[in-house]
Amino acid sequence: MSVVSSSAADGFIRRPPKDFRFFLVYGPDEGLTHERSRTIARNALEGDPDPLRLVRLEGDAVALDPGVLADEAYAIPMFGGGRVIWIDAQGRDLLPALDPLFAKPPQDCTIIVKSPHLRKGAGLRDAFEKLANGASIECYEDETKALGPLIDAEIAAAGLEIATEARAALIGLLGADRQSTRNEIAKLILHGRGRKRVEVADVEAIVSDAAPSGLDRLIDLALTGELAAVEAHAERYFRDGGDANALMARLIAKLTLLHRLRLEMEQGRPFESACQSLFIRLSPASRRALADQASTRTAESIRMRLPAVRAASARVRVEPRLAESLATRALWALGSRPRGAKADRS
């Protein structure tokens, strides 16, 4: 029996036990399940690009005609060599097709089942977890410790270096999906051609969501009490077609996040540790703003202000003619309150 956690998966699939014939690769990260399934297939085929040695099957087709899988698995290749059968699991039950192979494993044939997320106790997952010659491999969002080596390898392969601050910023923005992570790194490498080093400015210029939007900047100004700047940015936001309802929704979301963050910090966690526990991924500029806001407010003060902001949001929805002025007034009210720790606790 081999249950492989997401954090240990990359090392495992590079050197799986030689007698393993069955691999279930599952999880919510579609890009990562595909990448790991492809790596297992390549390793099993020892890099041979012969398309006749790799068979791709749709899961629902296999479930409707289980004999198709057995025919492929026990077939003797015309030109010799091992084979791989890759099944993309869908909605139908695959176990009736797989059970005969579990009982009598095919020779020189590796079976890979790529699946969306499976809960603990799911039949397919249970079956693979009980195999002596198989593995159940998790694929969840990349953790920070997995992202660092991935970034380093891709940057080095491109002949570039990356500044420490830029690397930290990039880690904070990636990880939701392996394919999108690789795409963002590729964009960054393309942007860095002709230079030797990737800097944090490159990350903020190229990586999606790295630079704070005008809406986020406006909210950050209100939360840090910069009232003159709030007025100017609010005027620009609405002049450019900004929506008051979107502004209020984002403001409530930001205050809710701050409240959760402060609760973590008031339990003794430092800012960075609290961010990690809440899986907060932000650009360097947004992270600095959040750190400033968290240092000048308490969980209780934020909790007390949320009802007024929610009430203002409700008025914005029901009074569209006054929406812009109501939203701006809410920002002013929030920003004009005392920011210091003593004021927040009073």
Same domain as 40, residue 121: yes
Same domain as 194, residue 96: no
Helix (H) or strand (E) holding 148: helix 144-157
What is residue 250's predicted lDDT score, i.e. its pLDDT? Answer: 83
| 192, 196, 202, 206 alpha-carbon torsion, rounded to 10° | 20
Same domain as 88, residue 58: yes
CATH code, domain with 336: 1.20.272.10
CATH code, domain with 130: 3.40.50.300
Write the DSSP string, 201-257: HHHHHHSTT-SPPHHHHHHHHHHTT-HHHHHHHHHHHHHTT--HHHHHHHHHHHHHH
Quick one: how far is CA 182 from the chain centroid?
12
How many structural domains does the chain have? 3
State pLDDT tens for residues 244-286: 988 898 889 889 989 999 999 999 989 988 887 787 767 667 7
Same domain as 199, residue 223: no
Contact of 72 with 55, CB cutoff 8 Å: yes
Q: Is 169 helix (H, G, I), strand (E, B) or coil?
A: helix
Which of the listed residues 182, 206, 230 is the one where a domain comes to its end?
Answer: 206
Low-confidence ranges of the chain (pLDDT < 70): 1, 49, 79, 141-145, 175-177, 208-213, 281, 283-284, 337-346
Domain that holds residue 120: 3-138
Q: Is 3 helix (H, G, I), strand (E, B) or coil?
A: strand
Quick one: how far is CA 236 from the chain centroid?
32
Beta strands (DSSP E) in 61-176 are 83-88, 109-115, 134-138, 161-162
Whole-angstrom Cα distance, residue 186 to residue 252? 35
CATH code, domain with 150: 1.10.8.60
Same domain as 157, residue 131: no
Same domain as 252, residue 200: no
Same domain as 316, residue 279: yes
Which of the listed residues 206, 222, 247 is the one where a domain comes to its end?
Answer: 206
Same domain as 66, residue 37: yes
State pLDDT tens for residues 48-103: 767 778 999 999 999 999 999 999 999 887 767 789 999 999 889 999 999 999 99
Same domain as 319, residue 250: yes
Q: How far apart are the first and last CA of the chain?
A: 59
Quick one: how far is CA 268 from the chain centroid?
27
Whole-angstrom Cα distance, residue 175 to residue 279? 10
Same domain as 188, residue 302: no
What is residue 143's predicted lDDT score, i.e. its pLDDT? Answer: 61
Q: Which residues of 60-96 are buried (b: 16+ CB within 10 A; e: fewer)?
A: eebbeebeebbebbeeeeeeeeebbbbbbbeeeebee
Same domain as 64, residue 14: yes
Which of the listed residues 114, 138, 162 is the one where a domain comes to its end?
Answer: 138
Q: Give the burial class of 263: count Cβ atoms within 10 A of its Cβ; 0-12 exposed, 13-18 middle, 19 or more buried.
A: middle
Same domain as 26, residue 123: yes
What is residue 178's predicted lDDT score, i.e. its pLDDT? Answer: 77
